[in-house]
Every structure is written in C-alpha cells, then in structure tokens.
Amino acid sequence: MDAEKLSQRWFLAAVTYFVVGIGFGVYMGASGDHAMFTVHAHINLLGWASMGLTGLLYRSFPAAALTRLAAWHFWLYQVAVPVMLFAVAAIYSGNKDAEPVAGAASVVVFVSVLLFWWAIFSARNDKAAIKRP
C-alpha cells in the first residue's frame, strides 16, 4: 500500500474517533455524569490525535508506509484500541474483571507503536522517499 492510501486510512479512523469522542463528551456534559472522563480522554488521544498524527508521519516518511511494519502497525492498533476503550469503560463501570483485557490490549497498542517507531526510524535515511516541503 502506498503512503497516500495508508495516510488516508489513518485520517479516516482519526475523524471517526473525533466524532465519537466529541459526541461522548457532549453526552457526558448533557447528562452531568462525568464518570467516564478517562474513556473520553483516551478516545480523543489514542483515536483523534494519535491517529491523525500517524497519518501525517506516514505521509512525511512514505518509505515507512511501504513496509510490512506499517501494515502490522495499522491493524494491531485498529483492533487493540477499541478493545482497550471498551475494557476501560467496563472498569469505570465497576467491572474489575475487565482489567486483564485492558492490560492485554494496552500491550498490543504499545507493540503496534513500537512497530511504528521502527518503521519510521528505518525509513528516516531514505532521502529519495522523504517528502520535502
């Protein structure tokens, strides 16, 4: 997959999380129940902000986007983040049994971020593939 297409996938995911995060924030504000503020923050940070920045970085380092690491990063992150968010929501709803699920999903998110780091740093010296302004 080329850098443009991978970036677009990250951007589409980011915009989706932006809508969900803002909607969830509006719901919490309207209901007066802010018990899930941690989930709201994670939606906006791991979803909207991190995914949007990831899309920009893959555009800036197109050689990184062409690697298998980038594909693994995308899919692991996209699967693990919602699992983690639902588990954290369950924990804040009083279900302590969800803690191992949140922990395992967090580890998968971390592994995917390490793959991202590896892809970017492996491609950083590919002068021909780095977009310049």
Instruction: Report the pLDDT value the prediction gives residue 131, as an integer from 0 to 100.
Output: 54
The answer to whether residue 31 sits within a structural domain is yes
The answer to whether residue 132 sits within a structural domain is no
CB contact at 8 A, 77 and 43: no
Full domain range(s) for residue 31: 3-123
Instruction: Report the pLDDT value the prediction gives residue 28, as an integer from 0 to 100.
Output: 94
Per-residue confidence of the chain (133 residues) as pLDDT tens digits? 788 999 999 999 999 999 999 999 999 999 999 999 999 999 999 999 999 999 999 999 999 999 999 999 999 999 999 999 999 999 999 999 999 999 999 999 999 999 999 999 988 776 545 555 5
The answer to whether residue 34 sits within a structural domain is yes
The answer to whether residue 96 sits within a structural domain is yes
- Amino acid 99 reads E
The answer to whether residue 13 sits within a structural domain is yes
- Amino acid 27 reads Y
Number of domains in the chain: 1
Instruction: Report the pLDDT value the prediction gives residue 123, as an integer from 0 to 100.
Output: 87
The answer to whether residue 77 sits within a structural domain is yes
Instruction: Report the pLDDT value the prediction gives residue 127, as an integer from 0 to 100.
Output: 55
Predicted structure pTM score: 0.90
d(CA 131, CA 133): 7
The answer to whether residue 131 sits within a structural domain is no
The answer to whether residue 42 sits within a structural domain is yes
Instruction: Report the pLDDT value the prediction gives residue 9, as an integer from 0 to 100.
Output: 97
Per-residue CA distances from 108 to 53, 67, 75, 127, 132 (Å): 19, 19, 10, 31, 32
